[in-house]
Amino acid sequence: MKVLIVEDDQFHSTFLQDALVEAVPEVTEIVHAANGAIGEDEARRGEIEAIVMDLQMEQRNGIEAARTIWAERPQSRILFWSNYADDAYLRGIAHIVPEDSAYGYVLKTASRERLKLALRAVLVEGQIMVDREIHRLQKRGSSPRTRLDDSEFDVLIDLALGLQDKLIAERRGMSLRTVQNRLLSLYEKLGVISELDDEVMLNKRVRALNRALVTRTINIETLETTQRDLETWLKER
Amino acid sequence: MKVLIVEDDQFHSTFLQDALVEAVPEVTEIVHAANGAIGEDEARRGEIEAIVMDLQMEQRNGIEAARTIWAERPQSRILFWSNYADDAYLRGIAHIVPEDSAYGYVLKTASRERLKLALRAVLVEGQIMVDREIHRLQKRGSSPRTRLDDSEFDVLIDLALGLQDKLIAERRGMSLRTVQNRLLSLYEKLGVISELDDEVMLNKRVRALNRALVTRTINIETLETTQRDLETWLKER
DNA sequence: AGAGATGTTGCGGATTCCCGCAATAGTCTT
DNA sequence: AAGACTATTGCGGGAATCCGCAACATCTCT
């Protein structure tokens, strides 16, 4: 079994390798890649189907790499190994994971045992496995009062990119007023109103982005990658 | 010589310790702390004056910890060891570093040799040492056309927190129109106008925050820590 | 099928934002 | 010290945003 490790941090990479040979003795070869772009090449060249990948990397992050890898070889099994439990990563993965392919998400703060468990479960057994910590975070918002639905999330992205209402309406195919309704519920769910509310008036648009960032609903990488999507959309409209 | 290591990542912590004993044989004792709050306690209890500290930590980050440590013991020598070269960190440090005390800033991607050099230079020799990579980043903006001055940076912070013009004016003691002038030059320097300019109209306020984030002028931790400053200001006005 | 809940859209107005124009104050140069 | 620059501030107006009100459209449940 060939396994590809995509990780740009030296120490984490070797730590990962150690855990891997312990947890999965059937490994015959381990290939390393220091960022997402190299990872894609290696996966292509080596016809590799078992991958452990960091999410935060220079150049090209894990989500983007996974997207092209899965596009070329949908049955690839990918275990994401990340520092953060940002909701944006989960949504990003949820959007690109192919039907019935195996993947997992483990935090770097997880114990070595849990990492080894996830390595076996995903790479060998082909299971889906998401770290409990992350699930907790995902759940926390699951009271529908706080959790954003997909269309709200789309509008949040556009807001974060700096589009104004009219453009968002055009891009998402809604009326101006509907966009504003979405924004309204965004302000509600992100806690823009409740906080410093009385007395202090805030710029809700900026505050919404601020809250989305500190609550880990989106992150800076989200801004960067969605920016590219926006640019292509702008060209072909 | 007693040295305190403040670092929440297991691997990095031991790596740091190894480099430390190699580079600084005069070390007699090494104390570990897993986050900023514990670090403050240890520094206080142990009367430690040589510290190596990560910047990104849960709970309480390196800048905040350094602020209280330096407030209590200004001659402390602190080497910051960070993943990122965000401008926000540099500004944060520049604001709190006491007169003629030693500090340094090294990236985690730096070679072991450079780390060891910095350890000696800062902890033993009491020099000031900033990683070349960071300086490069700081310089890049140093064409005054792009680099933010302090008052612009202040306004950027307030904008990022979601304050509206009137409140910023009150907080920073300027007139409304002056705030708007600052915003104008912010939009200019952050590249809000130049990008997608013609055709596409943007919400400049949000776009400014977006640009400030992706250019690493500020980061999410900045949002969190400055939020606390804002809250105290709000109470006592 | 009918009643109620939820989502979408238009209209209008109060507020905020963006910024050109112009007067004044402060700084630098020669 | 006079002239040139730059920063600060007020005024005013066009555009964008926020949001209540109300009319439909859809969906759900019994």
- What architecture (CATH level 2) is domain A150-235? Orthogonal Bundle (1.10)
Window from A46-60, A144-158, A178-192, B24-38 with minimum mean pLDDT: A144-158
B115 shares contact with chain A (CB less than 8 Å)? no
pLDDT band at A196; cut points 50, 70, 90: low
pLDDT recorded at residue A194 = 61
CA pseudo-torsion sign B160, B162, B166, B169 = negative
Phi, psi of B169 (to 5 degrees): -55, -45
pLDDT band at A7; cut points 50, 70, 90: very high
Which residues lie closer than 8 Å to A122 by C-beta, 6 or more apart?
A77, A78, A79, A102, A103, A104, A128, A129
pLDDT recorded at residue A237 = 74
Which residues lie closer than 8 Å to B232 by C-beta, 6 or more apart?
none
Per-residue pLDDT reduced to its tens digit, A123-160: 999 999 988 877 666 655 445 567 788 889 999 999 99
| Length A132 CA → C3 C1' (Å) | 43
* Nearest DNA or RNA nucleotide to A206 (CA to C1'): D17
Window from A70-74, B136-140, B220-224 with minimum mean pLDDT: B136-140
Window from A6-15, B74-83, B86-95 with minimum mean pLDDT: B86-95
- Residues of chain B in contact with residue A164, where contact means CB-CB under 8 angstroms, are 201-203
Per-residue pLDDT reduced to its tens digit, B18-76: 999 999 999 999 999 999 999 999 999 988 989 999 998 877 889 999 999 999 999 99
| Residue ranges covered by each domain of chain A | 2-140, 150-235
Suggest the residue from A55, A157, A210, A236 to mutate for an interface test with chain B (most B CBs closer than 10 A). A210
DSSP structural state of residue A98? P
Per-residue pLDDT reduced to its tens digit, A219-234: 999 999 899 889 999 8
Comparing B2-140 with B150-235, is the CATH topology the same? no
The answer to whether B205 contacts A210, with C-beta atoms less than 8 Å apart, is no
| Spatial CA neighbour of B211 closest among B188, B181, B180, B177 | B188
* Cα dist from A18 to A11, A112, A182, B209, whole Å: 11, 10, 48, 41
Question: DSSP assignment of B17-70, as one string?
Answer: HHHHHHH-TT--EEEEESSHHHHHHHHHHHT--EEEEES--SSS-HHHHHHHHH
Question: Which homologous superfamily is B2-140 in?
Answer: Response regulator (3.40.50.2300)
Strands A103-107 and A129-130: what pairing?
parallel
Q: How far is CA A109 from the centre of its chain?
A: 17
Residue corresponding to tokens 């990397």: A57
Which residue of chain B has the CA closest to A203? B162
A58 shares contact with chain B (CB less than 8 Å)? no
* Cα dist from A159 to A148, A166, B165, B203, B216, whole Å: 14, 11, 20, 8, 19
Mean pLDDT of A190-206: 77
pLDDT recorded at residue A138 = 60
Residue B167 has pLDDT above 70, yes or no: yes
Suggest the residue from B166, B194, B210 to mutate for an interface test with chain A (most A CBs closer than 10 A). B210
Residue A38 has pLDDT above 60, yes or no: yes
CA-atom Rg of chain A in angstroms: 20
| Spatial CA neighbour of B217 closest among B207, B226, B209, B229 | B209
* Residue spans of alpha helices (H) in chain B: 10-23, 36-46, 62-72, 87-96, 112-119, 132-140, 150-161, 165-172, 176-190, 204-214, 220-235
Residue B8 has pLDDT above 60, yes or no: yes
Q: Give me chain A's average pLDDT, please.
A: 89
| Rounded Cα gap, residues A231 and A234, in angstroms | 5
Phi, psi of A80 (to 5 degrees): -90, 140
B71 shares contact with chain A (CB less than 8 Å)? no
Per-residue pLDDT reduced to its tens digit, B139-149: 555 455 677 88
The answer to whether B206 contacts A234, with C-beta atoms less than 8 Å apart, is no
Q: Give me chain B's average pLDDT, please.
A: 88
| Rounded Cα gap, residues B201 and A82, in angstroms | 36
pLDDT band at A100; cut points 50, 70, 90: confident
pLDDT band at B109; cut points 50, 70, 90: confident
